Amino acid sequence: MHPNIGGEAQFVQGHKDEIDAIRLELEANETKNKLGEWTSTSISGNAILSSVLFSAGQTIAKAGKLAPVTQLLVVTVVYCLRWVFEEVMSAVPLNGGFYTAMLNSAPKKVAAIFAVFSMLSYLSTAVVNAVSIPVMGCTILLLVVFALLCLMGIAESAFVALIFFVFHTFTLTLLGIFSLIYVAQHPSIFVDNMGTSLPHVTMFGGAADASNVASALFLGYGTAMLGVTGFESSSQYVEEQAAGMFPKTLRNMWALSSTFNVAYSLLALAVVPLDTIISNQSTLLSLMGRLSGGRWLEVLVAIDAFGVLAGAVLTAYVGINGLFQRLAIDRVLPSFLLKVNSCRGTNHYIILVFCIVCSSLVFILNAEVTVLSGVFALAFLSVLLSFTIACLLLKICREEIPRKRTTSWTNTCFCLGMISLGILSNAFSDVKALSYFFIYFLVFFVVVFLMLTRVSLLKGLLYISRKLLLHFGGKQGEFTPIQQLSAGGHAFVGSVKVAKTIETVKNTPVVFFCKVANLPKINEAVRYVMQNEHTYCLRLVHVCEPDAPVPREFEDVVNLFDHIYPSIKIDFIAVTGAFDPAMVQWLSKSMDVPTNLMFMRQPANENIHRVSALGVRVISD
């Protein structure tokens, strides 16, 4: 079927043996090497529990004696967020988090722009955890070392993550026990800290300051949200988790983070004088270990902290590798990022680009942990905000998609409001961090924008070059009429290369699965493809049972739309067989079209939902 000649119709018999083999393979993969409850929890749990190490001191520095109250606010918000996450990921159970959910409920450009927040979140995760080493050169060296490890193919292991998780939980529990004993022996410290005045905090870069309950709760809440960074990471590997594990992972992360964040906000105020806490924000837990248990406990906490924070850097590399691959496959990022190292089988361009960008952020901010934490907080909260927006879009645009959990509008709007409040808190308290956040957002946004509009930009380049050539050549009398006609046909230096680039970009066809020849829905699909994908060819595919007749009106509809939209060629393919994941995979292989370039209407039942869960994009209600 020629990609530039439309209006054709084909009738294909599905190869039963090949489809059955694919079906058996898919069924085997559903249970093969799936992560259980605690291995799933450990991967994201390392990230969320590492947050306790640097958020406890910073929260007390902003909220003072009211830090436990702000932590309780965060506990409430994250509890409500659990239901938002469950609805989103049960409706679209694919790796990629909110990006895949938005891709199935909003235009591709919107999803791609919001994906920039995920990029910034991984960037700031790697940088903030890397600056646990106080020397800038060593921080950059740590980033380079982990880049080399990833280039060698040493990725995150669930079993290794579980070992780190158990050791970190043990260390935090041990420190908590010794701190409680110390509090029983020295109860006056907590009393003295409760008698102190609230911290004097500045906002808007020093343009305003305050020292009252409202400012302490407002700024303290925004900082306390840092204590749950990593909560969103479980959604990035939901396909690797066994059935029913994702809600349990969220529950475990909420329970663990709530327990340790609230406990250490109280214990820190009961073990360390407030002035000392403020002057030792980044090493607060190590200091608590020295005061409550001695030098050995301080060393144990320091070793644990380095291991967990360094592990979080590796997690960021692994996460960004998966995200960039998905965005490159969706043609949101350049395709060269998908190139694989022939020696180690790794995506070396992704790893190297990420390492360079991380190192640049460390260098520009001189490894200043406070500003970096501000960028980190804004990026993380933007990801959470994107999840709530994705949930709202699914409720509005894709309400018929089956999902195992549905949260209320009230809960979703509450989460949206509280996360927005957290973003405002961090933005007001650190204008410098906000400015750097926007700078790096703009850098990633420009790359995404260029990719999404590259065909229009290349066509514009052809047009402008042709006009300039005609203008200057014609002005000097250098062109004969025949040469002017040739120039009007794009005959200038580099025109062939630009034209071939456009052809390469648009040569891959896309597929839209149709059950019935519904004119408005097919028209909606055609317009979606023209507005969101770079392609010359749309193939409407109808899958029917062996004995079922193929509706002849499909051919008339295809011919109609092929004439209405001359810029895109529309073909029709009727396939005999059952419409299930195996059939979709077989069509993907036989037509050489990836499943992420296959589209469908929103599924109305669980069987069809399994098809969309394979990666087929929902673009219509």
Query: Between these two residues, 481 and 138, which has the higher pLDDT value?
Result: 138
Render pLDDT for 191-219 as a digit per residue (tens, 0 to 9).
999 998 888 777 765 555 667 888 899 99
Kindly state the average pLDDT of the residues 402-416: 93
How many whole angstroms from its chain centre is CA 150? Answer: 19
Sign of the torsion formed by the C-alpha atoms of 209, 211, 216 and 217: negative
What does the H/E/C string look like for 7-66? CCEEEEECCHHHHHHHHHHHHHHHHCCCECHHHHHHHHHHHHHHHHHHHHHHHHHHHHHH
Q: Hey, what are 201's tokens?
A: 């905090």
**Its pTM surpasses 0.85:** yes
What are the residues whose beta carbons fall under 8 Å from the beta carbon of 102, sequence distance 6 or more? 110, 111, 114, 386, 389, 390, 393
Token look-up 């020292």 returns 211
pLDDT at residue number 33: 67
Distances (CA, A) of 179 to 184, 256, 302, 556: 9, 18, 16, 77
Helix ranges (DSSP H) in 195-343 = 213-224, 245-271, 274-279, 284-293, 295-329
**Is 50 exceeded by the pLDDT of residue 3?**
no
β-pair partners for 344: none
Q: Shortest CA distance to 176 belongs to which of 84, 239, 256, 62?
A: 256
CA 253 to chain centre: 18
Question: Pairing between strand 510-513 and 9-13?
Answer: unpaired
pLDDT confidence tier of residue 485, bands split at 50, 70 and 90: very low
Length of the chain: 621
**274: amino acid identity, one letter:** L
Q: How far apart are CA 36 and CA 578, in angstroms?
A: 32
| pLDDT at residue 69, as a whole number | 95
Residue holding tokens 């410290």? 189
Distance (Å, whole) CA 239 – CA 93: 7
The yes-or-no verdict on residue 67 having pLDDT over 50 is yes
Compute CA 20 distance to the chain's CA centroid, rounded to the nearest angstrom.
34
Residue type, 388: T
**Closest by Cα among 33, 40, 70, 36 to 55:** 70
pLDDT of residue 2: 45
- Are 150 and 355 within 8 A, CB to CB? no
Using alpha carbons, select from 291, 316, 268, 320 the residue that is nearest to residue 130.
316
Res 490: pLDDT: 47
pLDDT above 80 (res 320): yes
Beta-bridge mates of residue 620: 601
Assigned CATH topology for domain 9-18+508-620: Rossmann fold (3.40.50)
Record the tokens describing residue 492, joined without a space: 């200038």
Please provide the distance, in angstroms rounded to a whole number, between the alpha carbons at the two ends of the chain.
Answer: 29
Q: Which amino acid is at 605?
A: N
The stretch 91-97 carries a mean pLDDT of 84
Mean pLDDT of 10-28: 83
Structure tokens at 520: 């408005």
Mean pLDDT, range 421-428, rounded to an integer: 92
Name the residue ranges covered by the structural domains of the chain. 9-18+508-620, 33-451, 453-470+483-503
Residue 100 to residue 455: CA distance in whole angstroms: 24
**Does the structure show a pLDDT above 50 at 4?**
no
Which CATH number is 33-451's, of 1.20.1740.10, 3.60.21.10, 1.10.10.10, 3.40.50.920? 1.20.1740.10
Do residues 478 and 518 lie in contact, with contact meaning Cβ atoms separated by under 8 Å?
Answer: no
Q: Which amino acid is at 256?
A: L
Burial class from Cβ neighbours inside 10 Å (0-12, 13-18, 19+) for residue 398 reads buried
Tell me the mean pLDDT in the region 580-603: 89
Q: Please tell me the predicted confidence (pLDDT) of residue 474.
A: 55
Give the other-Cβ count within 10 Å of 424's Cβ. 13
40 with 171: CB under 8 angstroms?
A: no
pLDDT digits (tens, 9 = 90+) for 549-586: 878 888 888 888 888 998 889 989 999 888 888 999 99
**Structure-token pair, residue 451:** 């990719």
Between the ranges 12-16, 252-256, 333-337, where is the mean pLDDT highest?
252-256
Segment 508-523, tens digit of pLDDT: 899 999 988 889 999 9
3-state secondary structure of 241: strand
Measured distance CA(381)–CA(2) in Å, rounded: 47
* pLDDT at residue 258 tops 50: yes
- CA 141 to CA 147: how far, in whole Å? 10
Mean residue pLDDT across the chain: 84
